[in-house]
Amino acid sequence: MPATTRASRRSTPEPTATGTAGMTTALDTSSGGPEGGLTPAMRPREGSRTRPPREDVYHPKYAVDLAVTDNVFLFPSNLIGYLRVVLAGASLCIMPIHPRICTVLYFTSCILDVADGQVARALNQTSKFGAVLDMVTDRCTTACLLCFLAIAYKPWALLFQFLISLDFSSHYMHMYSSLATGSTSHKTVTSDVSRILWLYYNNKITLFIFCFANETFFFCLYLNKFWTHSIAQSLPFLLVMCRDLGLPAGVAAVLGRVSWPQLVAGVTFPICAGKQVINVVQFWKASKILVGVDIAERQAKREQDAKARQ
């Protein structure tokens, strides 16, 4: 492939040509194109009748050519993202037979979700590719875990299928609505749009607690299929401590009946339920935003047609 010139918003402007609509479009003259060997670097946002073209909207062919000239794929944060995919995939492969190893691999992948973002910001290497890689990894990992739970808990299979659908649809709708309104990140949510989503996305601690507790609850349901011993059986000294501390007899009874996965699932269930509420809010708000954009564009089109008839 012929070498292409690197370009960015901070680099020397490319040669330009004026389009039929009167807008100036940058051209990459070093790669072959369908029309005279020129590939437009910039293009108007398709379908955006109500918004002018933004300078960061690039032609797909131009972006594909640039992808081989820079090392975004090899950013340390993205390398961590690839490691997350490998660990998550390995944990899912051994999920039916090695619960302990699966637990280590799965939660290592989850913890690295925090690390890659920190590394990207520290090195000033945040990227759209890295953000989408993160989201896709999260969605696919959770979906695969829920698929396993749908098989393990057959009476609840429909519920798990619904949760998979809600997770995918709410995040896809939210991402698309962010792009439709020109947002630079799906995490950029203002309080006037949704106070719930603003509190969720704009506080890193809150975001981590909800996401981690959500994964922990589902994973405890998985471990519950393998962990048959109660807490008292695993740690007998806890019963002695309960007696010495004068705790109610009901505490010892619970320790004798409940396993560790069941206890942790009980603690994280309210947060997991809250995460599903957030997904519903996210889906609804994204739907309203997209409908609003549709209405604005239809109104602009009617006004444009009315002016053309005059």
Residues annotated catalytic, as ranges: 138
Q: Which residue matches tokens 């809600």? A: 166
Checking 228-232 for CB contacts under 8 A at 24+ apart, the result is 228/259, 229/259, 230/255, 230/256, 230/257, 230/258, 230/259, 231/255, 231/256, 231/258, 231/259, 231/260, 231/263, 232/256
Q: Is 193 exposed, middle or buried (0-12, 13-18, 19+ CB in 10 A)?
A: middle
Specify which residues 40 forms β-bridges with: 27
What are 259's two structure tokens?
Answer: 């396993």
Instruction: Report phi then psi at 94, rounded to 5.
Output: -100, 5
- Give the SS3 label for residue 129: helix
Determine the length of the chain. Answer: 310
DSSP H stretches of helix in 187-259: 195-201, 204-223, 231-234, 237-244, 249-257
Report the alpha-carbon distance of residue 263 to residue 238 in Å, rounded: 14
Report the alpha-carbon distance of residue 224 to residue 229 in Å, rounded: 10
Report the alpha-carbon distance of residue 153 to residue 275 in Å, rounded: 21
Report the alpha-carbon distance of residue 108 to residue 221 in Å, rounded: 18
The two beta strands, 16-18 and 24-28, are antiparallel
